Structure 1
Amino acid sequence: MKRYATAHWEGSLKEGNGTLTTQTTTLDKTQYSFKSRFEEGVGTNPEELIAAAHAGCFTMQLSAYIGEEGFAIENIETRCDIDFVDGVIATSHLTVNAKIADITADTFQELVQKAEKNCPVSKVLNATISSTATLL
């Protein structure tokens, strides 16, 4: 399986702007710029997109592990906070809240740690990855 996205940029780094389009057109000429990355401008930025990718990938991986153990998932919500420091994505922190029938707190934490280490986005990130998980 291969996926793609394209970036189009016009102008200098600080004054220019660009658009991002994904293969599925979920992002379709979505605006991004220096201001949306480093200040409070309109549009998205690479770190926000990585956070979304990591939250989504981790949550799917966790749901797979929970399902393999035979537990019923009511819902899982994951927030990913990316820390961009000195031009490097330094950390990715996952905050997980989940409602899962009959699972113990210890089993849940074990599966969270397993998903944190094994989701494909975690494997590609060269950053410190951490998580906090709460059963609701």
Structure 2
Amino acid sequence: MKRKATAVWNGSGKEGNGHLTTQSTVLNQTQYSFNSRFAEGIGTNPEELIAAAHSGCFTMKLSFVLGEAGFTPESLETTSVITFENGVISKSHLILKAKVPGISQEVFDASVKDAELNCPVSQVLKAEISVEATLEN
């Protein structure tokens, strides 16, 4: 399987702007700029997209891991907080809230660790990855 996205940029780094389009067109000429990346401008940015990719990938991988252990999650909600410092993405901190009926804390923790280490986005990131997981009743 191969997936693709296209970025178009016009102008200088600070004054220019661009847009992103994904193969699925979920992003279709979605605006990005210096301000959307480094300030509070309208549009997306690479770090936000990496956060979305990491939280989505980790959550789906966790669902598969839990299924293999015999559990069906009622809900899994993951937020990824990307740290971008000195021109480097240095960390992705995942915050998970999970409802998994009948699971023990030990099996839950092992499943979270498995997903953290083995989701494809975790494997491609050269950044520190941490998880803060809460199992709700």
Q: Write the letter of the residue equivalent to 1:132.
A: E
Gaps of at least 5 residues in structure 2 are: none
Contact 2:63 2:72 in 1 (8 A): no
Aligned twin of 2:40: 40
What CA deviation, in whole Å up to 9, does each residue of 1:19-74 have, x standing for no partner? 00000000000000000000110000000000000000000100000000111210
2-structure distance, mates of 1:72, 1:78 = 16
1:1-136 equivalences in 2 (<5 Å) = 1-136=1-136
Alignment TM-score, normalising by the size of structure 2: 0.98
Residue identity (%): 62
Gaps of at least 5 residues in structure 1 are: none
Residue 106 of structure 1: CA displacement? 1.4
1-structure distance, mates of 2:132, 2:46 = 23
Q: CA RMSD in A?
A: 0.5
Q: Report the 3-state secondary structure (helix = DSSP H, G, I; strand = E; otherwise coil) of the residue aligned with 1:113.
A: helix
Residue 11 of structure 1: CA displacement? 0.7
| Equivalent residues, number | 136
Q: Report the 3-state secondary structure (helix = DSSP H, G, I; strand = E; otherwise coil) of the residue aligned with 2:74.
A: strand
2-structure distance, mates of 1:68, 1:45 = 35
2-structure distance, mates of 1:103, 1:10 = 52
